[in-house]
A = this chain, B = another copy of it.
Amino acid sequence: MKFDEAYSGNVFIGSHPHYEDSKVVLYGMPMDWTVSYRPGSRFGPARIREVSIGLEEYSPYLDRELEEVKYFDAGDIPLPFGNPQRSIELIEEYISGLLKDNKFPLGMGGEHLVSWPVMKAMYKKYPDLAIIHMDAHTDLRTQYEGEALSHSTPIRKIADLIGPENVYSFGIRSGMKEEFQWAKENGMYIAKFEVLEPLKEILPKLAGRAVYVTIDIDVLDPAHAPGTGTVDCGGITSKELLASIHEIARSKVNVVGGDLVEVAPIYDSSEQTANTASKLIREMLLGWVK
């Protein structure tokens, strides 16, 4: 027995044991230090792995099995606790490493700010990159209480980086008036309240493009994801979110990476949120990695 390989108890179900010959790397970004309302998403990735034991390895939606996609669960990126600036640097460096090795990066948050350094790394490799963003919140602030590194700012930072016209937000139902105005004035796409129907309209326009997909679990109604920091009623169902993932899978978009963020287990004693997240990860894996 090789003990360095023995740590299989708490990896995502079906994880391949070796990094080298895996196509996808699954990793956690256990950071929540800029959260304004209810923290706790630092514990999200570990819990998602824990509950993945309850999943089947086959998707009847996609008629595909996990063994058809070699992926390696690399665990959580070791982040310097309480230091957003350094955390962001480490995430960017980590993703750059993955991309150099031609891995498909699939991340688990952590707060939404983690998507920002991921996109910085992605954008270097894919200069025509677009982003599909599913969320209850705009996340378009320039700062929050004076703090530019905040869970309320990542999409704005990304828009500034890749151009607002390459940002497509879906399911948005919360934000400041100024955020919606900024988006409108700068040609950024926002689909309010709904995800699936507007997505069907947008996907053909993105055909052939390199696209990163970031999903904030709070795009779901709190009924479907009570375990998150900022619950906001009026969201979509898990059925609609699954269908949206599958719609992307069946589209001609070239998905080059993705993440699922803001699972905060403490607020959900039934653990339905973590279980749902683990199924979403499975569908993202099976649907987006060809």
Contacts and interface: CB of A to CB of B under 8 A. Distances in A.
Contacts of A272: 222-223, 226, 231, 233
A56 B233 contact: no
Given A7-B75, A221-B223, A270-B268, A230 B54 contact: yes
Interface string A232-261: 111101110010000000000000000000
Interface string A1-37: 1011111111000000011000001011010000011
Contact of A8 (B25, B75, B82, B193): B75
B276 A233 contact: yes
How many monomers of this protein are in the complex?
6
A interface, over-half SS: loop
Interface string A34-49: 0011111001011101
Contacts of A239: 193, 221, 233-235
Interface in A183-223: 192-193, 221-223
Contacts of A267: 266, 269-271
Interface stretch (A112-120, A122-130, A159-167, A171-179): A171-179
Interface string A41-64: 001011101100110111011010
Given A10-B76, A176-B56, A267-B270, A25 B3 contact: yes
A126 B137 CA distance: 40
A270 B165 CA distance: 37
B234 A75 contact: no
Category for how many chain A residues contact B: 35 or more
Contact of A10 (B40, B46, B53): B46
A238 B235 CA distance: 8
Nearest to A242: B234
A37 B53 contact: yes
Contacts of A94: 1, 6
Contacts of A233: 224, 238-239, 242, 272, 275-276, 279-280
A144 interface: yes
A72 B7 CA distance: 11
B19 A4 contact: yes
Given A8-B76, A36-B81, A234 B238 contact: yes
A37 B222 CA distance: 24
A77 interface: yes
A102 interface: no
B30 A9 contact: yes
A4 B3 contact: no
Nearest to A268: B270
